[in-house]
């Protein structure tokens, strides 16, 4: 009798306080897994491969030109001027649109029209998403992500049942409609957000935005470029598996990023001490290692259940897992440096990492053109991330010492 109310309170607290942030943080990764799984099941490998290559290129552009603006909504100095940052981010949208056209012109993007529509929806959704995260309004975000995931699941099933033939653009349309649903939730909820207490007129400079864009893109480039890269040298079946594996293993950062969202205020505090940063980093690293190991094992099991010959492609999920592990290991140090106005150093460090990884993968694809060469390139990218982690650690110690 005495334990029942306590259990009820614990369950209620989890549903109200812990579950919404978990869904909001893991939603983008979950919807990708659902979409690619449903596409492989209800459509075909060819359609999944075409969309998968385009999708992760669009996510790279979104990270560089939408989320780089949204990042500043997390900083207290800029939160009172969020509407100005919304408008400023349209410059990033325009530039990402031009790059999208360039990728299509060079044959790296399959569908230009639908990709541009998705790019616009992604931009609007993710910039608003940062505003909700900054205010810890995870309820509307969780609802938006649930609707997106539901549409990604039911869309391919419904089209496969209702249509006599599946159009090559159906997957693009399904994801665009799913994003539109999520965006509608955020737009309606945005009207109920508290008004900014004050507006100091501050906006990030384009140099600051560029630094964040380079930093965030440098961490995910080697992983997100894989579906589009391997499409140049492998069959559609392999490309669709890579897209699904990237989506599955990326979920490994769900718990670390959920934890990361809770410690941003501490990382932004100039009074944070070395032992505090070390403790935060240790906890984050433990979550990353556990998440990646579990995600890799579950991904292999999931691919096997999907009827995919895991023993023939086991190394691809392994390299994806190692890339994510190496890239995420420096999240705490790099975020701390960025929030301490050391984003110039972070950008330079990430730019070197980005250029190195791009060179490795480019040589593997266009100078050699074999899957073995790609595996060596990905291993070199892992080493690049390890070096980045080392230099980030050293520089963070110098900042803390002052």
Tell me: do 151 and 267 sit in the same domain. no
**204, 234, 259 - which closes a domain:** 204
Tell me: do 179 and 299 sit in the same domain. no
Q: Does residue 3 fall inside a structural domain?
A: no
Tell me: do 300 and 362 sit in the same domain. yes
Can you give the pTM of this predicted structure? 0.83
Mean predicted lDDT score pLDDT of the chain:
84
Name residue, tokens 């050293």.
394
Q: Does residue 103 fall inside a structural domain?
A: yes
Q: Does residue 10 fall inside a structural domain?
A: no
Q: Does residue 7 fall inside a structural domain?
A: no
Domain count, the chain: 2
Tell me: do 223 and 200 sit in the same domain. no
- What is the average pLDDT across 302-315? 79
Q: Does residue 354 fall inside a structural domain?
A: yes
Q: Does residue 238 fall inside a structural domain?
A: yes
Tell me: do 141 and 59 sit in the same domain. yes
**177, 204, 231 - which closes a domain:** 204
Tell me: do 267 and 234 sit in the same domain. yes
Tell me: do 31 and 136 sit in the same domain. yes
- For residue 338, the model assigns a pLDDT of 80
pLDDT, one tens digit per residue, over 175-190 is 999 999 999 999 998 8
User: Residue 150 above 90 pLDDT?
Assistant: yes
Q: Does residue 1 fall inside a structural domain?
A: no
Q: Does residue 248 fall inside a structural domain?
A: yes
Tell me: do 196 and 229 sit in the same domain. no
Tell me: do 198 and 52 sit in the same domain. yes
- For residue 1, the model assigns a pLDDT of 45
Tell me: do 248 and 173 sit in the same domain. no
- For residue 75, the model assigns a pLDDT of 76
Query: Looking at 11-25, 244-258, 348-362, which range is the least confident one?
Result: 11-25
Q: To the nearest whole percent, how much of the chain has pLDDT over 90?
A: 26
- What is the average pLDDT across 29-35? 88
Which structural domain range is residue 23 located in? Answer: 16-204
**143, 170, 204 - which closes a domain:** 204
Contact predicate 267/335, CB 8 Å: yes
- What is the average pLDDT across 24-41? 86
- For residue 7, the model assigns a pLDDT of 62
User: Residue 354 above 70 pLDDT?
Assistant: yes
Tell me: do 102 and 240 sit in the same domain. no
Tell me: do 300 and 359 sit in the same domain. yes
User: Residue 6 above 70 pLDDT?
Assistant: no
């Amino acid at each position: 009798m005495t334990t029942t109310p306590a259990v009820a309170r614990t369950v209620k607290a989890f549903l109200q306080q812990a579950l919404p942030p978990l869904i909001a943080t893991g939603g983008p990764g979950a919807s990708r897994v659902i979409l690619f799984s449903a596409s492989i099941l209800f459509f075909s490998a060819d359609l999944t491969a075409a969309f998968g290559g385009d999708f992760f290129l669009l996510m790279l552009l979104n990270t560089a030109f939408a989320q780089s603006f949204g990042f500043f909504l997390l900083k207290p100095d800029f939160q009172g001027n969020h509407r100005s940052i919304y408008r400023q981010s349209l410059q990033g949208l325009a530039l990402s649109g031009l790059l999208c056209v360039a990728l299509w012109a060079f044959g790296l993007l399959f569908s230009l029209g639908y990709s541009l529509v998705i790019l616009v929806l992604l931009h609007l959704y993710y910039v608003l998403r940062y505003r909700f995260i900054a205010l810890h309004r995870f309820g509307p975000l969780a609802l938006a992500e649930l609707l997106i995931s539901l549409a990604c699941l039911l869309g391919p099933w419904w089209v496969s049942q209702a249509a006599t033939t599946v159009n090559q653009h159906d997957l693009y349309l399904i994801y665009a409609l799913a994003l539109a649903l999520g965006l509608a939730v955020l737009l309606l909820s945005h009207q109920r957000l508290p008004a900014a207490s004050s507006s100091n007129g501050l906006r990030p400079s384009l140099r600051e935005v560029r630094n964040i864009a380079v930093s965030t893109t440098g961490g995910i480039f080697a992983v997100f470029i894989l579906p589009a890269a391997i499409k140049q040298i492998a069959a559609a079946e392999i490309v669709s598996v890579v897209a699904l594996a990237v989506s599955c293993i990326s979920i490994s950062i769900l718990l670390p990023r959920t934890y990361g969202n809770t410690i941003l205020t501490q990382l932004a505090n100039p009074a944070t001490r070395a032992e505090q940063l070390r403790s935060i980093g240790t906890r984050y690293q433990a979550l990353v290692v556990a998440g990646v190991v579990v995600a890799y094992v579950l991904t292999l099991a999931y691919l096997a259940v999907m009827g995919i010959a895991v023993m023939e492609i086991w190394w691809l999920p392994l390299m994806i897992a190692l890339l994510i592990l190496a890239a995420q290991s420096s999240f705490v140090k790099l975020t701390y440096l960025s929030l301490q106005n050391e984003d110039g150093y972070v950008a330079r460090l990430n730019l070197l990492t980005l250029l190195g990884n791009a060179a490795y993968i480019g040589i593997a694809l266009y100078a050699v053109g074999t899957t073995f060469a790609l595996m060596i390139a990905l291993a070199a990218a892992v080493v690049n991330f390890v070096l980045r982690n080392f230099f980030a650690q050293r520089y963070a110690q110098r900042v803390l010492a002052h």
